Structure 1
């Protein structure tokens, strides 16, 4: 199984996302941001973290007694990621949104589709989908979030991104990209084929493309009306 091959597939489909979703390329390249867009992105990040923690717990349940090492790794990741929403809530408070404001916000339909897809696919393929998703999240974070956050700091001020930067620093210190790749390897070995990992990855990037489309339509495009 080739990690390089999966990374190349992720890059290819992110490129397709950048081609079809307005402002997505500029946002990820640190060439553009917008306050409403960035703030709503942070809100969805919090909502997705909460839902993803529940999905990870379900994926851990599906491992059962079949692979204690994989179960231990997923449990470690779930523990280390627990309550990371607080880092982003700190930044959102600086942008004028309270925890109660975030709690009252319904996730985008794309997030609901993503979470629904994860539950369905975990029922079909065990922990493999959640392992691929978590690896992609960490790969995406390593590749794009430092640039996105640096640009936000330049536009909005360093004090507005301290929580986001703390999350980046935490993931780097705990080597979550490497940790999650080890779960992909074990999940593929026990629950499927590498082609299954590729299939799920493509579906995940398609769902993220839908998310960034919704994000743009609900903020930048809505401002222009």
Structure 2
């Protein structure tokens, strides 16, 4: 138990440090995550990319589950539970996008940003090479990030754009909290570290993921609010 706690403490510290580096170099990222700034084009496109990433991530998780196979039934069961619980969650964000004037067909016709394509490519490559450890680290980081930043971002968006435009996002936050997804996903990281790699491997993937997210937020700003600026 002590080793598990220390491993989690190290990854949480590394995640916080990585996000701080992101805030230092990406325009408006600090203000957006601190619920001090938003822009309608930026926020709307962020919701679109959230939908696209959820869909793609479900496919990646399924591939990670496939790579577990029969080698760890407990890990497979937990990943399957998470995949089941996250399935179709894009519908919550599609509800908000409808309030912003975008239909499901509009979102379906949108190509993911290159940064998202890079992220998914990295995920497939690393899972193929190393098994399920990368996807467990990514899913844990997503839940850690969501717990830390999304409530403030959503509350700020409600104040600016109105409650009707954030009901889906708030429903997703409430769902994750009620199902304790942060804790659930840490359990998969801990198990994957023990059976499929090392803490150093997990840290390497986490650093790479945050670098890819920094690339995403840079691209998001440059293609929306940055153009107007």
TM-score, length basis structure 1? 0.99
**How far apart, CA to CA, are the structure 1 residues paired with 2:226 and 2:194?**
45
1:222 positional shift: 1.4
1:124 positional shift: 1.1
Structure 2 match to 1:97 = 102
Asked if 1:220 is matched to 2:225, the reply is: yes
Paired residue for 1:30, among 35, 57, 66? Answer: 35
Paired residue for 1:188, among 190, 193, 196? Answer: 193
**How far apart, CA to CA, are the structure 1 residues paired with 2:119 and 2:88?**
20
Structure 1 match to 2:206 = 201
**How far apart, CA to CA, are the structure 2 residues paired with 1:113 and 1:34?**
25
Once the two structures are superposed, residues 117-167 of structure 1 have per-residue CA deviations (whole angstroms, 9 ceiling, x without a partner) of 000000111000000000000000000000000000000011110000000
Structure 2 match to 1:132 = 137
Once the two structures are superposed, residues 158-213 of structure 1 have per-residue CA deviations (whole angstroms, 9 ceiling, x without a partner) of 11100000000000000000000000011111110100000000000000000000
| Superposed counterparts of 1:6-21, under 5 Å | 6-21=11-26
**How far apart, CA to CA, are the structure 2 residues paired with 1:222 and 1:59?**
38
**How far apart, CA to CA, are the structure 2 residues paired with 1:218 and 1:117?**
23
Alignment partner of 1:141: what SS? helix
Runs of at least 4 residues off by over 3 Å? none
Structure 2 match to 1:48 = 53
**How far apart, CA to CA, are the structure 2 residues paired with 1:28 and 1:60?**
32
Once the two structures are superposed, residues 24-66 of structure 1 have per-residue CA deviations (whole angstroms, 9 ceiling, x without a partner) of 0000000000000000000000000000000000000000011
Asked if 1:73 is matched to 2:78, the reply is: yes
**How far apart, CA to CA, are the structure 2 residues paired with 1:204 and 1:189?**
21
Structure 1 match to 2:69 = 64
**How far apart, CA to CA, are the structure 2 residues paired with 1:143 and 1:129?**
21
Asked if 1:151 is matched to 2:167, the reply is: no
Asked if 1:5 is matched to 2:10, the reply is: yes
Gaps of 5+ in 1: none
Structure 1 match to 2:119 = 114
TM-score, length basis structure 2? 0.97
- Give the total of aligned pairs: 224
Gaps of 5+ in 2: none
